[in-house]
Chain A
Amino acid sequence: DAEITQSPRHKITETGRQVTLACHQTWNHNNMFWYRQDLGHGLRLIHYSYGVQDTNKGEVSDGYSVSRSNTEDLPLTLESAASSQTSVYFCASSANSGNTIYFGEGSWLTVV
Chain B
Amino acid sequence: RKEVEQDPGPFNVPEGATVAFNCTYSNSASQSFFWYRQDCRKEPKLLMSVYSSGNEDGRFTAQLNRASQYISLLIRDSKLSDSATYLCGERGTASKLTFGTGTRLQVTL
Contacts and interface: CB of A to CB of B under 8 A. Distances in A.
A binds B: yes
B44 A43 contact: yes
A42 B102 contact: yes
A104 interface: yes
A94 B44 CA distance: 14
Interface stretch (A19-27, A64-72, A73-81, A95-103): A95-103
Interface string A37-66: 000111101001010000000100000000
- Chain B interface bracket (under 10, 10 to 19, 20 to 34, 35 or more): 20 to 34
A94 B100 contact: no
A52 to B, nearest CB: 15
Contacts of B100: 42
A106 B41 CA distance: 8
Contacts of A35: 99
Nearest to B101: A42
B96 A41 contact: no
Contacts of B96: 31, 33, 45, 48, 58
Contacts of A41: 101
Contacts of B43: 90, 103-106
Given A42-B87, A90-B44, A101 B97 contact: yes
- Complex A-B, nearest 6 residue pairs according to Cβ-Cβ distance, in ascending order: A42-B101, A103-B43, A43-B99, A97-B95, A31-B95, A100-B46
Interface of A: 31, 33, 35, 40-43, 45, 48, 50, 58, 90, 94, 96-98, 100-106
